[in-house]
Amino acid sequence: MSDIAAAAAKVPLGRRIRRFMSDRPLVPLVILLILLVLLLQILRPGIVNERWIANTVKFAIPLAILAGCQTMTMLTGGIDLSVSTVATMAAFIMASQAVEHHAAVAIAIALMPALLIGLANGIGVGVFRVHPLIMTLGTSLIGTGCLQVYQRTVIASGTRIPDFLTWLGTGLTFGFPNALALFIPLAALIVFTLHRTGFGRLLYAVGDNEKATRLSGVRYWQVIIALYVVSALLAGIAGLLYVGLIKAPSSLSLAEPLLLPSVAAAVVGGTSIFGGRGGYTGTIVGALILTVLTTLLTILQMPEGSRRILFGLIVLAVTAAYLRIVEDR
Amino acid sequence: MSQFVRRQGWVSGLIVLFVLLLVVTRLIQPGYGAGDFGSLMRAALPYAFAVAAQTTVVLAGGIDLSVAAMMALTSVAAASMMNGASEEFAALVVPFVLLIGLTLGALNGVLIVVTRVPDIVVTLATLFVLQGAALLVLEAPGGAAAEWLKALIVGTVPIPGMPDAVSAWMPKALFLLLISLLVVWVPLQRSRLGLSIYAIGSSELAAFRSGVPVAWVRIAAYAGSGLFAAMGGLTLTMSTGIGAPIPGPYLLASVAAVVLGGVTLGGGRGGLLGPIVAVFVLRLVRTDLTLLAVDPNVTSIIEGVIMVVVVMLGAFIAMKGRPA
């Protein structure tokens, strides 16, 4: 016993910290998040209060849902670049249909294109083996075109956002954003699916070693189609939530600015873009980090240009540092 | 050998498709002539360079998401430097902008090699950085371009001893494209470096074990991509006369044309000719749809569908061709 203890003590402290962090990859992320919040508090004393936290969470939630799409697709070694288009389509179609129909009907109609795009993505990637990056970029291009055509047919009827979406998007209950009522079950479901169900394990397996997975009897295309349909539906839900938050239903580039951050959030959160490694909890923290970062850069009153530069550099630095910590075994 | 035949087969198929499309264009619009062909080439120019940039990296087994942002940055850099400057000064601007592209491209490669972060993520991050830099150079579209630069892509090249009817079909834009690509690509492909790019694209480990300096080759491939993107940025400034800090739709178009041009994503297989012809095909389809008076928004839907279907078929053929 004492030998083992002595051996453990001989390992240098730095290495032990790293080993601890690689065993618990969430810890460095949470530390980074806390550091960013502290930095914010130092730069603008008093900014960090209940309202600010609620606001940050509110804006992080749509991003976190979209980043969830990226996390799941990345686990299989893919990526879904159509999420922003799907989200925008869902938001716009819902807002224009809600003028005539009941909100529930409008939402059901709005999620149809999401379903179709997800299905197209899944068939392209799963059956025809197109690279996910290309396939989803292509369907997002088609989706944008369809949306533009659709916009002209409904431009006269105007748009309306159902009250409960506004309530869900912007409202607070006892200081907690109402969006959490949607997000917490959703996130729990995603985490549960990824870790405790066969489908989740299949995602990891496909990403880790596709050939072995196929040889052990898994129908690759079924998994992939299900995955991209789920991803598109999630993106549609995120779009509905986002339009309740932003309240600009007529914008055809509503969720576009969220696309690259959603990829970044998943990557910062420790999901490997090559598949097989990562999880949703990291992604949620990643989305929070990116949201706090955006606030930080806005507060520093940087011009848009330098903000983007810093954003890019930080994403790169965090990913590189994270890789070092996790791979150093 | 069979691979070589298949690749050339793909490219010649594309050329046949292009010629067929030209015939179709003539049928739709009997007046379609040399002048329209010239404007097609001018419009395709930035796309062609974007595709050349993407091809260089894809052959080496990577991908460059920052192509469009790089073009935006070099375009605004050129436009703002030439703003109010003399015509002669522009002769200095061109090499300088190309150097910027080369350096930033190499930086992409260095970052990938040093940080060991996947190329998609690194170039995604540099996409942000380059976009930001472009916004810092020019906040809104503006700047200017030297007259002689703009004249470089307008009009046709007179070929001595040829009737006008033939030389009218040699727009300067096509000439410029061919010369720029040949000057960079042919020496590159003939050199050791070119072979190494293909080598690390087909199998990085095998290349490493046969003594290819994988890291340096990767950096060189990204530097080449940056150079082509800078050329693309310059042609943007040349054709519009200004620089715009918001990247155009060149990223998606470049990836699509690379795949349509018979270059395997993942690297090691394909050439530059296929993707370039693919760009012309895609542009001509757009022209045809416009001539058919199709709603421009519907046009972009059709364009997207064509792209996706072609890519699907390509992937399907590649899957069938692979030994099971």
- B115-135 confidence digits (pLDDT tens): 888 888 888 889 889 988 998
In the predicted model, is pLDDT for residue B16 greater than 50?
yes
The partner residue sitting opposite B297, judged by closest CB among A145, A303, A312, is A145
Only one residue has tokens 């928004």, namely: B297
Per-residue confidence (pLDDT) for residue B5, from 0 to 100: 54
Per-residue confidence (pLDDT) for residue A313, from 0 to 100: 85
A140 vs A20, which has greater pLDDT? A140
Within a domain: A1: no
Residue-wise pLDDT for A166-204, tens only, equals 777 777 777 778 788 788 888 999 989 888 888 888 888
Q: Residue B4: pLDDT band by 50, 70, 90 thresholds?
A: low
Per-residue confidence (pLDDT) for residue A220, from 0 to 100: 85
Q: Residue A328: pLDDT band by 50, 70, 90 thresholds?
A: low
Contact B116 A323 (CB under 8 A): yes
Q: Residue B324: pLDDT band by 50, 70, 90 thresholds?
A: very low
Nearest CA in chain B to A308: B132
Within a domain: A283: yes
Alpha-carbon gap: A129 to the closest alpha carbon of chain B (Å): 6
**Chain B CB within 8 Å of residue A253 CB:** no
Q: Identify whether the C-beta of residue B51 lies closer than 8 Å to the C-beta of residue B261.
A: yes
Contact B132 A274 (CB under 8 A): no
Alpha-carbon gap: B315 to the closest alpha carbon of chain A (Å): 6
**Mean pLDDT to the nearest integer, B26-55:** 86
Instruction: Break chain B into its structural domains and give their ranges.
Output: 39-248
State how far the Cα of B284 lies from the Cα of B40, in Å rounded to an integer: 7
Contact B125 A316 (CB under 8 A): yes
Per-residue confidence (pLDDT) for residue A96, from 0 to 100: 83
Residue-wise pLDDT for B261-317, tens only, equals 888 777 777 788 888 998 898 888 888 888 887 777 787 788 778 777 877 776 776
Q: Residue B224: pLDDT band by 50, 70, 90 thresholds?
A: very high
Cβ count within 10 A of residue A281: 19
Alpha-carbon gap: A156 to the closest alpha carbon of chain B (Å): 18
Specify the pairing of strand A176-177 against strand A172-173: antiparallel
Contact B132 A260 (CB under 8 A): no
Per-residue confidence (pLDDT) for residue A207, from 0 to 100: 83
**Domain region containing A211:** 21-327
Question: Can you tell me the ipTM of this complex?
Answer: 0.77
Per-residue confidence (pLDDT) for residue A65, from 0 to 100: 93
Q: Residue B318: pLDDT band by 50, 70, 90 thresholds?
A: low
Q: Identify whether the C-beta of residue A287 lies closer than 8 Å to the C-beta of residue A190.
A: no
Q: Residue B147: pLDDT band by 50, 70, 90 thresholds?
A: confident
Contact B132 A306 (CB under 8 A): yes
CA distance readout (Å), B208 to A31, A208, A245, B117: 38, 24, 52, 19
CA distance readout (Å), A120 to A75, A115, B118, B143, B280: 19, 9, 27, 43, 27
B299 by DSSP, 3-state: which? helix
State how far the Cα of B221 lies from the Cα of B254, in Å rounded to an integer: 16
Contact B135 A134 (CB under 8 A): no
Residue-wise pLDDT for A93-136, tens only, equals 888 888 788 888 888 888 999 999 999 999 988 888 887 877 88
Q: Which of B:222-261 have CB within 8 Å of A?
A: 252, 255-256, 259
Per-residue confidence (pLDDT) for residue A329, from 0 to 100: 44
Q: Identify whether the C-beta of residue A82 lies closer than 8 Å to the C-beta of residue A238.
A: no
Q: Which of B:279-298 have CB within 8 Å of A?
A: 295, 297-298
Residue A172's beta-bridge partner residues? A177
Alpha-carbon gap: A134 to the closest alpha carbon of chain B (Å): 7
Alpha-carbon gap: A312 to the closest alpha carbon of chain B (Å): 4
Within a domain: A186: yes
Within a domain: A13: no
- Mutation target vs A (from B54, B117, B119; most A CBs, 10 A cutoff): B117
Identity of residue A74: M
Per-residue confidence (pLDDT) for residue B323, from 0 to 100: 44
Per-residue confidence (pLDDT) for residue B48, from 0 to 100: 92
**Mean pLDDT to the nearest integer, B6-33:** 81
Chain A residues touching B252 at Cβ < 8 A: 137-138, 141
Alpha-carbon gap: B23 to the closest alpha carbon of chain A (Å): 27
Identity of residue B100: I
Per-residue confidence (pLDDT) for residue B1, from 0 to 100: 45
Instruction: Give the predicted TM-score (pTM) of the model.
Output: 0.79
Residues comprising chain A, all counted: 329
Alpha-carbon gap: A186 to the closest alpha carbon of chain B (Å): 27
Contact A141 B303 (CB under 8 A): yes
Q: Average pLDDT of chain B?
A: 83
**Chain A CB within 8 Å of residue B265 CB:** yes
In the predicted model, is pLDDT for residue B73 greater than 70?
yes
Chain B residues touching A313 at Cβ < 8 A: 125, 129
Q: Residue A66: pLDDT band by 50, 70, 90 thresholds?
A: very high
Q: Average pLDDT of chain A?
A: 82
Alpha-carbon gap: B170 to the closest alpha carbon of chain A (Å): 33
B12 vs B235, which has greater pLDDT? B235
Per-residue confidence (pLDDT) for residue A6, from 0 to 100: 53
Residue-wise pLDDT for B39-53, tens only, equals 888 888 899 999 999
How many domains does chain A divide into? 1
Which of the 8 DSSP states describes residue A99?
A: T
State how far the Cα of A154 lies from the Cα of A151, in Å rounded to an integer: 5
Per-residue confidence (pLDDT) for residue A267, from 0 to 100: 83
State how far the Cα of A133 lies from the Cα of A80, in Å rounded to an integer: 7
Contact A306 B134 (CB under 8 A): no
The partner residue sitting opposite A312, judged by closest CB among B126, B300, B313, is B126
What is the separation of C-alpha A240 from the centre of its chain, rounded to a whole number of angstroms? 15
Q: Residue A228: pLDDT band by 50, 70, 90 thresholds?
A: very high
The partner residue sitting opposite B125, judged by closest CB among A124, A272, A312, is A312
The partner residue sitting opposite B121, judged by closest CB among A139, A267, A307, is A267
Identity of residue A97: Q
Per-residue confidence (pLDDT) for residue B2, from 0 to 100: 56
Per-residue confidence (pLDDT) for residue B203, from 0 to 100: 85
Nearest CA in chain B to A143: B301
In the predicted model, is pLDDT for residue B228 greater than 90?
yes
Per-residue confidence (pLDDT) for residue A9, from 0 to 100: 55
**Chain B CB within 8 Å of residue A137 CB:** yes
Residue-wise pLDDT for B157-200, tens only, equals 766 666 666 667 778 888 888 888 888 888 888 888 888 888 88
State how far the Cα of A144 lies from the Cα of A89, in Å rounded to an integer: 8
Within a domain: A271: yes
CATH code, A137:
1.10.3470
Backbone angles phi, psi at A176, to 5 degrees: -100, 135
State how far the Cα of B53 lies from the Cα of B251, in Å rounded to an integer: 10
**Mean pLDDT to the nearest integer, A208-229:** 87
State how far the Cα of A243 lies from the Cα of A266, in Å rounded to an integer: 22
Nearest CA in chain A to B108: A316
